[in-house]
């Protein structure tokens, strides 16, 4: 390989490295910004007492001043869909004080969700319900701090209606096929799932599981003193 060819290869590798670094930086910025905006929206909704259903704020037709009277039904449906996605609130907020973790909980566990928060595992009990609530997160993302969690630590899960405090009572490492960790435990529970080992390069071969039992629940809405 002559010097010119070698230089071209080196330049190409340098450009590729810069592109990869830029993409990683943008992903980190998107993760941080998206999480912060979701938390702010959730806090504002709690303060305002916004009505939500399935984690989506409900807006009236044309609530933002848009006149829909001359629009076709197809265009209205597309518009409402875009607004529902834009105004989507997290199902809940997960707070682990010891680890300084406060992160929005969205529905599902695809990469988009887990880059912007943590995800409720569909099929497990839903945040705010009795049963075993399953929440997953990336070990190199919002759940990195789980490496320092211990039995006895408190974990809070807050919905628009209530704040539930759980206490960690078991930590285990299992295979990815061990779906029994999400089965009901005979008491209201929370199960956190991430990949393991935490610093493994590539697809991690195991799962780090944190089990916590419900200690108490308090409403987040002020009591209705009107008698209604």
Residue 170 CA to residue 58 CA, distance in Å, equals: 39
Bridge partners of 212? 168, 190
User: What are the tokens at 152?
Assistant: 């006895």
Q: Is 30 helix (H, G, I), strand (E, B) or coil?
A: helix
Taking the model in full, what pTM does it have? Answer: 0.70
Which has the closest alpha carbon to 169: 101, 217, 215? 215
One digit per residue, the tens of pLDDT, for the chain of length 228 reads 566 666 666 656 665 555 454 444 444 444 567 778 888 878 887 777 654 444 444 443 444 455 666 677 776 666 565 454 445 689 999 999 999 999 999 999 998 888 889 999 999 999 999 999 999 999 999 999 999 999 999 999 999 999 999 999 999 999 999 999 999 999 999 999 999 999 998 889 999 999 999 999 999 865 554 544
Q: Where do the domains of the chain lie, and which CATH numbers do they carry?
A: 51-88 (no CATH), 92-219 (2.40.260.10)
What is the pLDDT, as a whole number, of residue 23? 41
What is the pLDDT, as a whole number, of residue 38? 83
What is the pLDDT, as a whole number, of residue 57? 44
What is the pLDDT, as a whole number, of residue 73? 77
Q: Where are the alpha helices (DSSP H) in the chain?
A: 3-48, 73-86, 111-116
What is the pLDDT, as a whole number, of residue 21? 47
| Cα dihedral 185→116→27→199 (10° resolution) | -20
Residue 138 CA to residue 141 CA, distance in Å, equals: 5
Render pLDDT for 174-217 as a digit per residue (tens, 0 to 9): 999 999 999 999 999 999 999 999 999 888 999 999 999 999 99
What is the pLDDT, as a whole number, of residue 10? 62
Q: Which residues of 85-94 are buried (b: 16+ CB within 10 A; e: fewer)?
A: eebbbbbbbb
């Amino acid at each position: 390989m002559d010097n010119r060819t070698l230089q071209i290869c080196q330049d190409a590798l340098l450009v590729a490295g810069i592109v990869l670094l830029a993409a990683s930086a943008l992903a980190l910025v998107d993760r941080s910004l998206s999480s912060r905006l979701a938390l702010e929206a959730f806090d504002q909704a709690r303060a305002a007492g916004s009505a939500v259903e399935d984690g989506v704020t409900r807006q009236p037709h044309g609530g933002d001043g848009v006149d829909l009277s001359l629009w076709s039904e197809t265009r209205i449906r597309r518009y409402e869909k875009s607004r529902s996605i834009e105004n989507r609130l997290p199902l809940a907020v997960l707070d682990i004080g010891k680890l300084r973790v406060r992160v929005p909980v969205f529905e599902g566990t695809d990469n988009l969700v887990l880059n912007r928060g943590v995800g409720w595992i569909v099929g497990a009990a839903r945040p705010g319900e009795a049963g075993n609530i399953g929440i997953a997160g990336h070990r190199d993302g919002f759940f990195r701090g789980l490496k320092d969690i211990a039995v006895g630590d408190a974990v809070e899960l807050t919905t628009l209606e209530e704040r539930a405090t759980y206490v960690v009572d078991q930590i285990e490492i299992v295979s990815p096929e061990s779906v029994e960790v999400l089965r009901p435990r005979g008491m209201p529970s929370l199960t956190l799932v991430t990949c393991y080992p935490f610093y493994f390069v590539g697809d991690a071969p195991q799962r780090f599981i944190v089990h916590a039992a419900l200690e108490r629940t308090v409403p987040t809405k002020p009591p209705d003193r009107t008698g209604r």
